[in-house]
Amino acid sequence: MRVLGIAKFCRYYFLAPHHHDPAVLIRSAGKRVTNARLTVVSVLQHGSQHMTATEVVSAIAEAGTHIDQSTVYRVLADLRDSGLVAESRFGSGEASYEWLAGSNHHHLHCNECDRVLPLDDGLVDRFVESVARGHGFEADATHMVVSGTCENCRGKQEDEKSE
């Protein structure tokens, strides 16, 4: 039997609709299904698109449940290492986490205003294909963050220069 890399496995495994069940996904990643893991996944699935560990702990407490902060950090690290959760660092702040839910997530991050915009999957797919053709390198692009300056902030900078 051929062993797939975690990114390929997740892309393959998530294509089947019944595999969006968090317990099935956690088990398939070789992890035990625990209340802490299911609770963290539920918060990420139903929370804002990106949540810091502190926000996850707060959301769990607001729901009337208690999970120790260190447990939340360990669960997030396990889920990240298993390819079920993406970890991003926008700017200089705390890491944020996002449930991958079987799809790739790509973002544009403005260094000036910290705005996060979606990046088209098709554009990233073409980039990955180009890298493979040009360099013989298979890139893992399940989660990509491109930092720069958004159109609004560039406009403000140009206005300031012209004054």
Specify the 3-state DSSP secondary structure of 43: helix
Question: What is the tally of structural domains in the chain?
Answer: 2
68 vs 51: CA distance, rounded Å: 17
How distant, in Å, are the alpha carbons of 70, 88, 94, 118, 129 from that of 53?
10, 12, 8, 22, 34
106 vs 103: CA distance, rounded Å: 10
Residue type (1 letter), 143 = H
Give yes or no: residues 108 and 88 share one domain: no
Give yes or no: residues 76 and 114 share one domain: no
Give yes or no: residues 96 and 28 share one domain: yes
- The structure tokens listed for 15 are 């294509």
Of 63, 82, 100, the last residue of a domain is 100
Q: What CATH code is carried by the domain that includes residue 83?
A: 1.10.10.10
- The structure tokens listed for 8 are 């390929």
Q: What is the pLDDT of residues 80-119, one digit of tens each?
A: 888 888 888 776 678 888 887 656 677 788 888 878 787 8
Give yes or no: residues 50 and 120 share one domain: no
Give yes or no: residues 13 and 86 share one domain: yes
Pairwise pLDDT comparison (4 vs 39), residue with the higher score: 39
